[in-house]
Structures are given as structure tokens and as C-alpha cells.
């Protein structure tokens, strides 16, 4: 009796597949497809999916790694056919010898036949080896579907799908099968034994850039459309998503209103720097360049000719340096090269000045341009946000900003996302301790200065405030000591993450600042109206979102944390 009770207890042990498959609630597929996401299967459970053994699911994703294991059990011998039957051994007659040696006699005997004739053709055919059946193997795939970092092991028998189509990294598959516990303990608590392959998206191994292991991040930038399939970039994007959600949640919790500022603007918000011009035609610019080329040629030289001459003179200098035969000739050649380079620089500056003057001319033919005035991609949205802060109180914006800077810096890209906020009835106060190091008035701190402060001196985030007015945009409020109410927050190894300021509300002061910097006042009339009508003290800040992601992930180049980075000379898709 005791033995019978023990047997019943063993059959009802909760770990058995049969018991689990009967009592577990079936996994719910993703709302917009019939597949189960790996996040639901692996991460949203305390058992890592081990208790789901026995359930049938549909899984889809991309192959991260793979291997093929040939089955060790010997294959049964192929069945015999009529042609393969063994011909009994017997004595060979002289006629049969002649048949096998002389083709003409053999052919005649085959035609005539006869009861005593036995064809040797079957003997020859039986000696040809039959093609072996395809080998039997099992394919093990690590699959990711993007819902989480974790991967699922999928087991596919060669009888279900051709292994060579499944094995390449990056192959997309959709399979159906039963969840089971792996036969041996390892890092996977559950795996999928696939018995149906619903879809295979094959990969061209020779051209697919991720076929190689450990592709460098700088190389991946040339394949932005494949980068998210790597673990590093996929993780970075998840971090970006979490930070983006946290940003909106923070401002919502603090009663800020989200305002979308324009991407196309007529105003240079920073009052300096290079901006991307927005236009639908370049015919006028081409005409200007052709006109300038004609002028230079009439004067007896052109920029292209001077640059070509400088190139040739540079080659002559290098040749003279290698020969070391005539120092006087080398000195004369170097002097000649310097003069030629100076002339090229003057011509290039002259051309840029003339073309720049042409681009700044607002009196354009509206029939040739989409807008009736020159427009640019915005560098900052703070000026536009101020107009809404003067009506709604606290506002913010989160979006891309553009700077046409040709510097190839690890901390800069042509398109970067910014979080900007403006608050009415707010002032900026300099209340931190001052350090004794003195700088000459008007000297702008360089990135090297700031990096030294954050990386070497303090080794933690550093906040610098009360800048000389020459170092900040025109709209920043001027203090009584001729500094401006602005600050920057620097973090080690990244640089400036946050910049903030109190903005100028005094009409006379901001008018004088515009004049000092030589800015076209007519372009800022709409902004000056804020000071003329219902002005208020207001402050705001800009958080460089991409640099924040760079700081949190610990990577070294901001282009590696941007989904589709754009920089000087790089816009692949």
C-alpha cells in the first residue's frame, strides 16, 4: 500500500511536462501578430520560462549565432532494387569474353539475344555507387526578436528545413513548435523544438556586413540600416527610449507643457555659427560662382589655377627636401609655396564673402524659392519657446537641432536632439563658491579648459557660470558686472551636457546687444515684440540629449548613440 501511494505521488510531481501543459495558461501572442515575444517568454517571468515546457508557440526573430550537429546514429542501409540484385557467379564462356572485349560483337549479341546470353551491362551498372542520402543533422539557433536583449535557443531538425538556409547570421525565421527544457543544464532554462518553419528570410553572406564577428563601431556607421541588429546598438536604443520616456514624464510631473518648435526658421537663435540653408533651387548660387570665376579670370588668375599651382609647388618642395642638394633652392621654393597658398586663401575668402552676401540678401524672387525669404534649419528652439512661456508659463520642447559645423569631433554631429525648457517669472542666481584661478576678461573657455576642470581637477561634473558676455548668445541677460547670467554643466569625458541662462527682458539692452554683434535687426523683430508687450523675467536651459546618452552608456563617440548619425561628409541613408 505504501509503495502504491509513493507511485501516485511521483506521477503527480509538479515538474512534469504533462502536468504543466495541462494547468498553465497559454501564452498570449503579441497583439498585432500571432507570435509570442521573447520578452513575455523569458523576462516577464521569475522562472525564465522553464515552467512553460509543453506549450506550443510561434516565435519569430533573427539568428544571432548558430551551429549544426550531425546525428551520430548510423543510417540504415538503402533498400535493394531490381537492378541491384546479385547475379549468381558461374563459369564465363569464350563468347562472353569476346562480348566484353569486342564492342561490335557485343552489340550484335545484344541485338540477336538468345537464351544463353547474359548481359554484362547489369554487372557494370551495379558497380556504380549510388548517391548517398542527405546527412541527418540538428541545427541550434540563438534567436532574438528585438523585444529584449535575451535570446531563445531554437532547435530545428534537418528534416524540417534545410540547415544551410537557417545557419547564416541575420537570417529571419518564423517557426512553430513546442517549448521544452534542454536535455542538459546550461544558460537556457527553456528552448523551442520547431516542427514547422513558416518563413525564412535568407541572407547574402558575402555582402551582409554583420556576417563577420565583432564589426568595429566606426565601420557600423556606414551601415546604419543594419546597426540595430548588433547587441551594442540595440542596447543603446533601449537606453535612449527609456531616457526619452523619463524626460517627458519629468516635465509632465512638473506641470510643463510640450511645445513643438519649428525645424525651419528665419532666425539664427544663437547669433553665430554655421546654419543649413533651406532652399529648393541652387541656380542663383551657381550663377554667382560662375560670375566670380569670370572676374578672377579677367584679372589674370582663378582660384582653381592658383590651387593647382600650389599643389605643384608643394611637390617641388618635397622633391627638393629628399634630394638635399641645394638649400637656397629649397628656401626659395618654400617661400614661393607660402605666397601661392596665401593668394589661394585670399581668393577663397573673397569668394565666400561674395557668395555669403548673396545668400543673406532677402530680396529674392519668390517664384524661384519656396519661401519668400531665406530660411534655415534651426540651431535652437529657445527663442520660439520664450513666446509660449510668456503665455503658458512653463514649456519645453524635445527635438532635433542642426549645426553645419565641419569639425569631425567625437562629441558633435550635424543633427543632434535637444531638450529645451523655458520658464516665465524665473531668475538665475550665482551662489556657488568661486575658485581663485583668474582669466582675462573676455577670454572664452575652450573645450580643453573645461575638460581639464571636469576630468583632471574635480573628476566629477562641474558647473561654470557668469561668463563674459562675448562668450554667450545675444539674448542672455547682462549682469551689472558685464558678465552674463548663464551657466554650463560639464561632465567628465563628455563635455557640456546642459547650458542654461536667464534671458534679457530689457528692450534697450537687447537692442544694443543685437547692434554690437552686427545681427540683422529685422529678423528679430518678432522676438523684440516680447520685450515691448507684457515682458517678464524668464529663464531656461538646453540639455544635449545625445551627450546624456553617451555619458550613461560609456561609449566614446556620440555618433554611436544616434540611430542615424549625420556628420560632415556622412549621410549614407
Burial (0-12, 13-18, 19+ Cβ within 10 Å), 20? middle
Res. 101: pLDDT tops 80 = no
Whole-number Å distance between alpha carbons of 168 and 503? 58
Centre a 10 Å sphere on the Cβ of residue 3 and count the other Cβ atoms it contains. Answer: 6
Residue whose grid cell is 550531425? 70
Number of H helices, E strands in the chain: 17, 15
Q: Is residue 28 very low, low, confident or very high in pLDDT (cuts 50, 70, 90)?
A: confident
String of DSSP letters for 371-389: SSS-EEE-S--HHHHHHHH
344-366 mean pLDDT: 60
What pLDDT, in 10s, does the model give residues 206-265? 999 999 888 999 999 999 999 999 999 999 999 999 999 999 999 999 999 999 999 999
Residue 320 in grid coordinates: 627638393
DSSP three-state, residue 268: coil
Whole-number Å distance between alpha carbons of 528 and 521? 9
495-510 mean pLDDT: 95
In terms of pLDDT, which residue wins out, 561 or 352? 561
Q: Where are the beta strands (DSSP E) in 263-334?
A: 264-265, 277-278
What pLDDT, in 10s, does the model give residues 471-497? 899 999 999 988 999 999 999 999 999
Centre a 10 Å sphere on the Cβ of residue 375 and count the other Cβ atoms it contains. Answer: 19
Cβ contacts of 359-365, under 8 Å, gap ≥ 24: 359/277, 359/285, 360/520, 364/284
Res. 190: pLDDT tops 70 = yes
CB under 8 Å to 333, separation ≥6 — which residues?
313, 316, 317, 320
Q: Helix axis angle, 283-298 relative to 303-323, nearest 10°?
A: 60
Burial (0-12, 13-18, 19+ Cβ within 10 Å), 4? exposed
333 closest CA partner among 495, 323, 289: 323
Whole-number Å distance between alpha carbons of 154 and 66? 9
Whole-number Å distance between alpha carbons of 55 and 38? 14
383 closest CA partner among 487, 473, 314: 473
What pLDDT, in 10s, does the model give residues 296-352? 555 555 677 777 788 887 878 777 766 656 677 777 788 788 877 777 777 777 766
DSSP three-state, residue 30: coil
- DSSP secondary-structure letter at 461? -
DSSP three-state, residue 522: helix
Centre a 10 Å sphere on the Cβ of residue 484 and count the other Cβ atoms it contains. Answer: 26
Instruction: Kindly list the distances between the CA atom of residue 423 and the CA atoms of 59, 117, 207, 464, 540, in Å, as whole numbers in the listed order.
Output: 49, 110, 52, 21, 6
Burial (0-12, 13-18, 19+ Cβ within 10 Å), 161? middle
Lowest-pLDDT range, 108-117, 362-371, 395-404, 437-446? 108-117
Contact 49, 133 (CB under 8 A): no
Whole-number Å distance between alpha carbons of 472 and 487? 10
Amino acid at each position: 500500500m505504501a509503495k502504491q501511494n509513493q507511485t501516485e505521488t511521483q506521477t503527480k510531481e509538479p515538474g512534469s511536462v504533462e502536468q504543466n501543459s495541462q494547468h498553465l495558461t497559454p501564452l498570449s501572442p503579441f497583439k498585432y501578430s500571432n507570435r509570442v515575444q521573447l520578452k513575455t517568454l523569458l523576462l516577464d517571468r521569475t522562472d525564465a520560462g522553464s515552467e512553460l515546457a509543453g506549450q506550443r508557440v510561434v516565435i519569430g526573430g533573427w539568428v544571432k549565432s548558430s551551429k549544426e550537429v550531425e546525428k551520430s546514429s548510423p543510417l540504415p542501409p538503402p533498400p535493394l532494387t531490381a537492378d541491384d540484385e546479385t547475379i549468381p557467379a558461374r563459369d564465363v564462356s569464350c563468347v562472353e569474353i569476346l562480348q566484353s572485349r569486342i564492342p561490335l560483337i557485343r552489340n550484335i549479341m545484344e541485338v540477336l539475344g538468345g537464351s544463353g546470353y547474359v548481359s554484362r551491362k547489369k554487372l557494370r551498372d551495379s558497380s556504380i555507387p549510388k548517391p548517398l542520402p542527405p546527412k541527418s543533422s540538428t541545427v541550434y539557433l540563438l534567436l532574438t526578436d528585438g523585444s529584449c536583449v535575451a535570446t531563445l535557443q531554437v532547435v530545428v531538425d534537418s528534416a524540417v528545413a534545410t540547415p544551410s538556409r537557417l545557419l547564416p547570421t541575420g537570417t529571419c525565421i518564423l517557426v512553430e513548435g513546442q517549448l521544452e527544457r534542454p536535455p542538459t543544464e546550461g544558460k537556457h532554462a527553456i528552448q523551442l523544438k520547431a516542427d514547422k518553419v513558416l518563413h525564412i528570410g535568407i541572407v547574402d553572406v558575402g555582402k551582409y556586413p554583420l556576417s563577420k564577428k565583432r564589426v568595429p563601431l566606426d565601420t557600423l556607421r556606414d551601415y546604419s540600416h543594419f546597426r540595430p541588429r548588433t547587441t551594442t546598438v540595440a542596447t543603446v536604443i533601449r537606453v535612449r527610449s527609456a531616457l526619452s520616456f523619463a524626460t517627458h514624464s519629468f516635465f509632465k510631473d512638473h506641470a510643463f507643457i510640450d511645445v513643438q518648435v519649428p525645424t525651419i526658421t528665419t532666425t539664427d537663435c544663437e547669433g553665430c555659427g554655421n546654419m543649413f540653408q533651406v532652399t529648393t533651387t541652387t541656380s542663383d548660387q551657381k550663377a554667382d560662382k560662375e560670375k566670380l570665376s569670370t572676374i578672377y579670370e579677367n584679372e589674370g588668375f582663378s582660384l582653381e589655377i592658383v590651387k593647382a599651382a600650389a599643389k605643384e609647388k608643394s611637390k617641388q618642395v618635397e622633391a627638393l627636401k629628399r634630394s638635399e642638394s641645394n638649400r637656397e633652392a629649397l628656401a626659395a621654393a618654400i617661400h614661393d609655396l607660402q605666397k601661392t597658398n596665401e593668394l589661394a586663401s585670399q581668393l577663397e575668402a573673397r569668394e565666400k564673402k561674395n557668395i555669403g552676401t548673396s545668400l543673406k540678401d532677402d530680396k529674392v524672387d519668390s517664384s524661384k524659392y519656396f519661401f519668400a525669404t531665406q530660411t534655415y534649419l534651426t540651431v535652437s528652439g529657445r527663442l520660439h519657446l520664450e513666446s509660449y512661456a510668456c503665455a503658458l508659463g512653463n514649456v519645453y520642447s524635445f527635438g532635433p537641432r542642426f549645426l553645419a559645423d565641419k569639425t569631425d569631433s567625437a562629441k558633435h554631429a550635424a543633427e543632434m536632439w535637444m531638450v529645451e525648457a523655458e520658464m516665465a517669472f524665473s531668475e538665475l542666481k550665482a551662489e556657488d563658491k568661486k575658485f581663485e584661478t583668474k582669466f582675462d576678461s573676455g577670454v572664452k573657455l575652450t573645450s580643453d579648459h573645461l575638460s581639464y576642470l571636469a576630468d583632471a581637477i574635480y573628476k566629477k561634473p562641474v558647473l561654470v557660470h557668469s561668463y563674459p558676455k562675448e562668450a554667450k548668445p545675444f539674448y542672455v541677460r547682462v549682469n551689472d558686472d558685464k558678465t552674463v547670467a548663464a551657466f554650463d554643466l560639464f561632465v567628465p569625458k563628455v563635455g557640456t551636457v546642459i547650458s542654461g541662462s536667464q534671458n534679457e527682458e530689457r528692450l534697450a539692452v537687447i537692442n544694443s546687444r543685437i547692434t554690437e554683434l552686427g545681427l540683422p535687426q529685422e529678423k528679430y523683430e518678432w522676438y523684440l515684440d516680447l520685450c515691448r508687450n507684457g515682458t517678464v523675467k524668464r529663464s531656461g536651459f538646453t540639455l544635449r540629449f545625445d551627450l546624456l546618452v553617451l555619458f550613461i552608456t560609456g561609449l566614446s563617440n556620440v555618433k554611436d548613440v544616434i540611430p542615424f548619425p549625420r556628420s560632415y561628409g556622412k549621410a549614407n541613408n
